[in-house]
Structure 1
Amino acid sequence: MDVNESRYILIQNHGLQNTDDVYTFYYDETNNIRKLYLKDTGLNVGMTDNFLLAGILHKGLSTDSDYSALFKNLNLQKSARELKLKHIAKGDFLDMLKSDKLFIILSWLIENKFYIHYFNLNIIYWSVIDIIDSIIGELHHPFYVMNHMSIKSDFYELANSNSDVFLNALHEFNYPDVPKEKVHNFCRWLIDFTCIHSCMLSNFRANVIENLVKESLRIEELPFISGFHGRELIGSFMVFYLRNLYLFKNSIHIFDEEKCIQDDVKDFSLTDNGIPMQNHEFVKSHNSEAVQLSDVITGFLGKYFSYLKDVSDEQLVRDKAGLTSTQFKTLSALKHIIDVSDDVSRGFFNVVSSEGEQRRNNHFLHGVNL
């Protein structure tokens, strides 16, 4: 795959800046379930926390920052072979905000001109929105195209409101490979499910999504939910590792060792104007302080985004109002480094999640009204 056409489209469509500059990215991951598929009892996994591929980065190919001074300041136990999130903060997201050591790390990153990057994926949202994309893609109706993000978010909320029934039905229809002869039955079930649960939405948004799914009966086929591996929602996370490799093609990308991903990426050839690209490597984390710091940042952000996925708007407002001075100080440091990183390049951040999660993030981190 030559990266330049895909790269150009991504940069132009999202107005991404400074992607040709040279950076050194460090990565870790959290909540990598490897595969997600439907069973007759629901899903193959019990937890559906957001998958995160994230970490820290700096400009250029090297840094003179003193990692040893930071690690000494953290007062790690001598038995600790390498820095892990568990040495810095424990508990849920709000508990982690209480950690003085987490604030020390965030402050050190800011002072030493490090940035952070993340790819945040709501795995259930990603798995079910192809249903809506299929219908909108076949209808070509300007209103639905313009409002596709809010419609998909509403559909995700409906699916989540009765997930057992929803997932069982997907299993019965062999989703995401619904047989052609069952497409109309699938659409009839979809209409019934949507109309039964749409009462949780405002009248206007309920009418929009009800009208959309009713239009599905006019469609001969739903291309995004046929021709795939039946009942396999996510076969691999490998594709998400490739985005930064081609978007920031002039940079170096250093990943924590992950055998299955290493093999997949190795077998997927990326070229730049026909020349093979070699801009990444996998390392043992205990040999890289920056990868260890990425473990802390990734784990912390993983807790944050899973919190945003599960919390109600009302509880979120109460939680933010109840933050202690220590929690607020750490949250402010997180906001600062995200803002600084975004100023350098919006390309450092990639999010596939519901409108509700993004709205709650904007309120909790940036103070935007819900």
Structure 2
Amino acid sequence: MIDLFQRYSFPNVGPERRRDFIDEVLGLAEVRSDLLEHFNYMMLKGVLQLGRKIKSLPFLEAETSNVLVDSFGHFFLERLYILKNASHILDVEELVIEYLKDVTFVDGKRKMNHFRFVVSHSEPGIQISDVVVGLLGKYFSFICATADDDLVNVRQTLKPQQQMNLSLLFDILERSVEENPVFAHAIMSIRDRAMSEEFRAPA
């Protein structure tokens, strides 16, 4: 995929090379179809075949060549839009400040001013969230990088205190989702999500 992206200056593929790009992606998908559930593979194949016929694919044209992610600002925007009645306290990050400085949030005709930036060492809530997010980041990195059979073996060898800690962590996460389903936000493959659920289940 990296070679393919580089050859086509992804995501700035352009209308002239779009068909060739889609054909190559389709070829890769066909060769590796056994890695996907049949239904998921057929859906992907169908979407790619439809993409051949569409006159314009906005995310493959007029983009910056060879830049996959230019900012994580849209993740902040999503939270601020969806949780419009919350007061958001954000850690001081210059890139995020720059990204949001020209954005105006409105609810109908009402202008919203529902977020602020603070230095983390003066805000206990941010300090706690940094610890929790760091822990979850390491957990999901471990899940993604470990083979399925090895995950099963590791899960079976957890000591009682480790099992209790894992259970407590996911109890907190479940209570958060019960409070508001919007609190749950993840970008994971189907496999990683399934293995995460399996790893947290009782051994």
Matched residue SS, 1:352: coil
Distance (whole Å) between structure 1 residues aligned to residue 113 and residue 24 of structure 2: 48
Partner of 1:354: 189
Structure-2 change in CA distance of 1:214 and 1:240 (3 Å): closer
Distance (whole Å) between structure 2 residues aligned to residue 191 and residue 205 of structure 1: 13
Structure-2 change in CA distance of 1:235 and 1:324 (3 Å): same
Q: CA deviation at 1:210?
A: 4.8
**Residue identity opposite 1:296 in structure 2:** V
Structure-2 change in CA distance of 1:204 and 1:288 (3 Å): closer
Structure 1 residues 147-166: aligned runs within 5 Å = 166=1
Q: CA deviation at 1:242?
A: 1.9
Matched residue SS, 2:193: helix
Deviations 1:210-237 (A, max 9, x none): 5654555444443332222222111111
More strand per residue:
1
Structure-2 change in CA distance of 1:213 and 1:259 (3 Å): closer
Structure 1 residues 1-370: aligned runs within 5 Å = 166-201=1-36, 209-210=44-45, 213-214=48-49, 216-366=51-201
Q: CA RMSD in A?
A: 2.2
Q: Which ranges in structure 1 are unaligned for 5 or more consecutive residues?
A: 1-165
Q: CA deviation at 1:182?
A: 0.9
Q: CA deviation at 1:194?
A: 2.2
**Residue identity opposite 1:249 in structure 2:** K
Structure-2 change in CA distance of 1:266 and 1:317 (3 Å): same
Distance (whole Å) between structure 2 residues aligned to residue 219 and residue 330 of structure 1: 51
Deviations 1:106-150 (A, max 9, x none): xxxxxxxxxxxxxxxxxxxxxxxxxxxxxxxxxxxxxxxxxxxxx
Partners of 2:18 and 2:60 within 8 A in 1: no
Deviations 1:307-363 (A, max 9, x none): 222223222222211111121111011011111111111111112221112112222
Q: CA deviation at 1:255?
A: 1.4
Relative contact order higher in (CA < 8 Å, ≥ 6 apart): 1
TM-score after normalising by structure 1:
0.50
Partners of 2:29 and 2:45 within 8 A in 1: yes
Matched residue SS, 1:176: coil
Matched residue SS, 2:68: strand
Structure-2 change in CA distance of 1:339 and 1:264 (3 Å): same
TM-score after normalising by structure 2:
0.87
Q: CA deviation at 1:284?
A: 1.1
Matched residue SS, 2:113: coil
Partners of 1:309 and 1:357 within 8 A in 2: yes
Distance (whole Å) between structure 2 residues aligned to residue 251 and residue 215 of structure 1: 40
Distance (whole Å) between structure 1 residues aligned to residue 60 and residue 143 of structure 2: 28
Instruction: Give % identity.
Output: 28
Q: Which ranges in structure 2 are unaligned for 5 or more consecutive residues?
A: none
Partners of 1:335 and 1:366 within 8 A in 2: no
Matched residue SS, 2:116: strand
Structure-2 change in CA distance of 1:366 and 1:274 (3 Å): farther
Runs of 4+ in 1 over 6 A off after TM superposition: none
